[in-house]
Chain A
Amino acid sequence: MEIPYTISTRPDTGLWNAKIGIWLFLASEVMLFGGLFSAYIFLRIDAPPGMWPHGLLNVPVGTMNTAILIMSSVTVVLAWASLKMRKYNAYWWYMLATILCGIIFLTVKLAYEWPQKFDHFGIYIKTEALGKYEQYLGNEYAAEKGLAPRVEITGHLHNRAALKDPNIKEYEVALDPLNADPTNAEMDRPHFWPKPATEKIATIEKEDVQYATMFEPRHSAYFASYFTITGLHGLHVLGGVLVFIYMWLPVSKRLYQRNPEHLANRVEVSGLFWHFVDLIWIFVFPLFYLL
């Protein structure tokens, strides 16, 4: 049986069916991401001073990924317009550009940004031991300048065995610039270009540690929401890319030859989904990378 109203409009709704379908789906997507964003807002409002990390993500890379996603939104709408003008070749190239943008976005996220976090170490110091590590935390200086208190030492863990072996009594950490030089005014606020961990090694005794972990979801409410929301967003990008690949393959050219408007409508609805994914990222980027 032929699916009705793929091109012509249904008299009672005034729309072709897939258009209503995709908007209802996007409405449910708004609820899905809305729940996560509302959780984010209240976790963040609830975080005690100094417990919502800043400047831990790579801003230039995030900015580049944002630009890539925006460009892919432009190319997908141009792909659709090309089909409407019956220029299949142009459509093919714009679709390829969109697919490549999606793949670059995912690769940067999964092969560069996430693994870097999984390799970054954070140690929360017990309240009573904070004074002992003042040289790395600079809390007196922070209080003088009205900055949030510092309770965490971050950097690269040198003796990884310490994570599992209870006989090793301390962590050896190559410090991040903030902890290496905590009273330097340049470190008061995060930098656009991230600075690598220094050569300065700190030894932190395990008995002074509240808890220590790599920058994984369990590190903090911040990273838990970061990985959940960017992970779900990444799945959406992957889904979009797979659909676009199908529409770019020869199988869709046959549909184009049969009925170009049908393919144009398919591209329009998947484009609507893609723009929505871009729209979510427009909020994710400042909330996690910049603020």
Chain B
Amino acid sequence: MNNPPDISQDSKEYEEYAHGIRKHVRGYLMVGATLLVFTGITVALSYVHFGTQKANIAVAMLVATFKAGLVAAIFMHLAAEKRLIYRILVFTGFFVLGLFWLTFLAWYDYPIFR
């Protein structure tokens, strides 16, 4: 039927497959360690004064985007995914930017604050 019982019953083929996963595990541990180090860096950088508050926010968001990118690319396997998922994400990006833009427009609806 639709669901074959297992990925592979052939022991040699399975060994090769398991070896591939084992290689990934090292990568996952390295990414985890990198994320922890960058959490420390985020905290440390917030006590460095980069001139303006805006500059501090920009630096922190840059580090956060890098960390989020690592999580998405490695843990969520987006580095190598099927095309359909990228398509879904392009739509998501488009609509979430639209959402931000709508809030931005509404922000100008109240001239007393501007």
Residues of A within 8 A of B (CB): 2, 4-8, 13-15, 19-20, 23-24, 27, 30-31, 34-35, 38-39, 41-42, 46, 59, 63, 66-67, 70-71, 73-74, 77-78, 81, 84-86, 189, 192, 259-262, 271-272, 275-276, 278-279, 282-283, 285-287, 290-291
A14 to B83, CA, bound (A): 9
**Neighbouring A residues of B104 by C-beta, 8 Å:** 38, 42
**Neighbouring B residues of A71 by C-beta, 8 Å:** 32, 36
Residues of B within 8 A of A (CB): 1-7, 17-18, 21-22, 24-25, 28-29, 31-32, 35-36, 39-40, 42-43, 46-47, 49, 53, 56-57, 60-61, 63-64, 67-68, 71-72, 75-76, 82-85, 88-89, 91-92, 95-96, 99-100, 103-104, 107, 113
Q: Is the CB of A283 within 8 A of B64?
A: yes
Known interface pairs A34-B96, A38-B100, A279-B68; A290-B76 also in contact (CB < 8 Å):
no
**Neighbouring B residues of A290 by C-beta, 8 Å:** 42-43, 46, 60
Out of A46, A63, A279, name the residue touching B71 (CB < 8 Å): A279
Q: Is the CB of B53 within 8 A of A189?
A: no
Q: Is the CB of A20 within 8 A of B84?
A: yes
Q: Is the CB of A30 within 8 A of B96?
A: yes
Q: What's the minimum C-beta distance from A98 to chain B, rounded to whole angstroms?
A: 12
Q: Is the CB of A259 within 8 A of B21?
A: no
Known interface pairs A27-B88, A85-B21; A2-B2 also in contact (CB < 8 Å):
yes
A259 to B7, CA, bound (A): 10
Out of B46, B75, B84, B100, name the residue touching A73 (CB < 8 Å): B75
Most chain B beta carbons < 10 A, residue from A15, A67, A85: A85
